[in-house]
Amino acid sequence: MVHRADGGRTSLANLKDYCWWHHHVVLHELGWTLTMHPDGTSQVTSPAGKIIRSHSPPPRPRVTSPASRPPHRTDQP
């Protein structure tokens, strides 16, 4: 991710959704930097060098076939 002010493109691939606090205060006013990794994890680094790493994105939900689903009960209201 490259910020628009630093020449980043306005595109979905370069878009991240943050709340106002994290976008303006943490990244702009406090000077933390954000690094996005190809595996979907990220890390932020403070101006003093402290690093906070994210966890992996949640796994995709499994899609089950109708045959593997439990039968629908009709005796319940």
Domain-by-domain residue ranges, the chain? 4-55
- How far apart (Å, rounded) are the C-alpha atoms in residues 31 and 2? 15
- Judge if pTM exceeds 0.85: no
The partner residues of 52 in beta bridges, in order of sequence, read 44
- In the prediction, which pLDDT does 28 show? 78
Residue 18: partners with Cβ closer than 8 Å, 6 or more residues away: 27
Mean pLDDT of 8-18: 78
Q: What is the pLDDT of residues 18-68, one digit of tens each?
A: 777 777 777 778 888 888 888 878 888 999 999 988 876 667 777 766 666
What DSSP line would sit under 16-29, residue for residue? Answer: ----HIIIIIIIII
